[in-house]
A = this chain, B = another copy of it.
Amino acid sequence: MVTSRRPTITAVATHAGVSPMTVSRVLDGRSTVSPELAERVRASVVALGYQRNEQARSLRPGQRSGLVGVAITNVANPYYAQFLLGAEEVLAATGRTLMIGSTADSVAREERLVADFIGRQVEGLLVVPTGGRTHLLPRRLNGVPVVLASRQVPGIGADTVVVADVRGAYVGTTVLLERGHRVIGFLGSGMSSFTGGRRLDGFRLAHEDAGVRVRDELLRQDESVLADDPDHHRVIAESLLDEHPDLTAVLCANNRNTVGLVRALARRGELGRSADQLTVLAFDDFELADVVDVALLVIDHDGRELGRCAARMLTERLDNGFDGPARLIELPTSLLLPM
Task: Tell me whether A65 and B76 are in contact (CB under 8 A).
Answer: no
Which residues of chain A from 57 to 96 have a CB within 8 Å of any chain B CB?
A: 58-59, 65, 67, 74-78, 81-82, 84-85, 88, 92
- A334 within 8 A of partner (CB): no
Given A54-B120, A76-B78, A85:B102 Cβ within 8 A: yes
- Which of B53, B54, B59, B85 contacts A56, CB < 8 Å? B59
**CB nearest neighbor in B for A265:** B291
Q: Are A51 and B1 in contact (CB under 8 A)?
A: no
Are A266 and B287 in contact, CB atoms less than 8 angstroms apart?
no
Which residues of B lie under 8 Å from residue A118 when comparing CB positions?
Answer: 6, 51
Q: How far is the CA of A286 from the CA of B293 in the complex (A)?
A: 17
Say if the beta carbon of A3 comes within 8 Å of chain B: yes
Q: Judge if A20 is at the interface, Cβ distance under 8 Å.
A: no
A83 CB → nearest B CB, Å:
9
Kindly state the separation between the CA atoms of A271 and B271 in the bound complex, as whole angstroms: 13
A67 surroundings in chain B (CB, below 8 A): 99, 120
Q: A101-B88, A288-B262 are in contact. Are A119 and B304 (CB under 8 A)?
A: no
- A263 contacts chain B at the CB level, 8 A cutoff: yes
A171 within 8 A of B: no
From A56, A76, A117, A286, name the one whose CB has the most chain B CB atoms within 10 angstroms.
A76
Can you list 5 A-B contacts (CB < 8 A)?
A4-B142, A6-B118, A51-B118, A55-B65, A263-B290
Given contacts A78-B76, A100-B98, A100-B100, contact A142 B266 (CB under 8 A): no
A159 to chain B, nearest CB (A): 15
Q: List A residues at the B interface (Cβ < 8 Å).
A: 1, 3-7, 49, 51-56, 58-59, 65, 67, 74-78, 81-82, 84-85, 88, 92, 97-102, 115-121, 139-140, 142-143, 259, 262-263, 266, 271-272, 286-288, 290-293, 304, 323
In the complex, the chain B residue whose C-beta lies closest to that of A120 is: B54
Contact A266 B286 (CB under 8 A): no
A2 to B287, CA, bound (A): 47
| A55 touching B85 in the complex, CB below 8 Å, given contacts A143-B6, A271-B291, A288-B287 | no
**Known pairs A97-B99, A100-B98; A143 contacts B59 (CB<8 A):** no
Q: Is the CB of B88 within 8 A of A84?
A: no
CB-nearest residue of chain B to A80: B81
Structural contact, B259 and A287, CB atoms closer than 8 A: yes
Given contacts A7-B142, A97-B99, A288-B287, contact A121 B53 (CB under 8 A): yes
What residues of B have a CB within 8 angstroms of the CB of A78 in the complex?
A: 76, 78, 81
The answer to whether A290 and B304 touch (CB under 8 A), given A55-B58, A98-B99, is no
The residues of B that contact A3 with a CB separation of less than 8 Å are 143
